[in-house]
Amino acid sequence: MTHLLIGSNNAHKAEEMRAIIEAQSLATILMPTSVQNFPTDIPETGATLEENAYIKTVAIFHATGRTCIADDTGLEVDALGGAPGVHTARYAGESATYAENRAKMLAELAGIAPEQRTACFRTVICYHDDLRVAFAEGVCEGRIATEERGEAGFGYDSIFIPEGFERTFAEMSAEEKHRISHRGQALKHFAEILRSYHDEAVENTLS
């Protein structure tokens, strides 16, 4: 089974990715703390999620020599013209906390009717091994709540209500969230890609 390094210094995100991948029996997971030379500060200078995911994955692969994945995620709110998008993690400033980002969003949407608070989460994953670079994407449509609800999750989970539900991500179990979330969808797409690489390797061995 492939050894796959989770390329994120965000402990919450790394753990979520580990749980989703292991549930699909995709690979043997390596966490950032288990490898040498894992870069601790990679500037996210890309103008798109794809560029940022690529920048991070290339830096991690060259620093560690390990097959790895990294992602970038954006929350795109229609009433804010698609913001914060690529700036989601830094919405309230470069060193903003999750709570500060959520507070800014709720303040900017104050007075906006529920039906006009539509949004989507989009995750782009970049994979890098000795032979190739590949991308996978996942999207979760929903809307922004009028107040924080729930204790689970991280980031914007307590104010994001996925389409078809009345609960926020933070009010769901981890397993329920993973089935429908943007990151879960992206990793399902990635699973298909990784399995195709495995099948290709087996076919080449037998031919």
Active site residues: 72
| Six token digits for residue 206 | 């037998």
How large is the angle between the packed helices 182-206 and 11-23, nearest 10 degrees?
A: 50
| Six token digits for residue 36 | 């040498």
DSSP class per residue in 61-85: HHHH---EEEEEEEEEEGGGTT-EE
Residue with tokens 């601790």: 40
| Six token digits for residue 147 | 């107040």
DSSP character at residue 36: T
| CA 89 – CA 84 distance, rounded (Å) | 8
DSSP character at residue 31: -
Number of C-beta neighbours around residue 199 at 10 A: 10
- Judge whether 88 and 103 are in contact, CB under 8 Å: no
DSSP character at residue 192: H
Tallying the residues shown for the chain, one arrives at 207
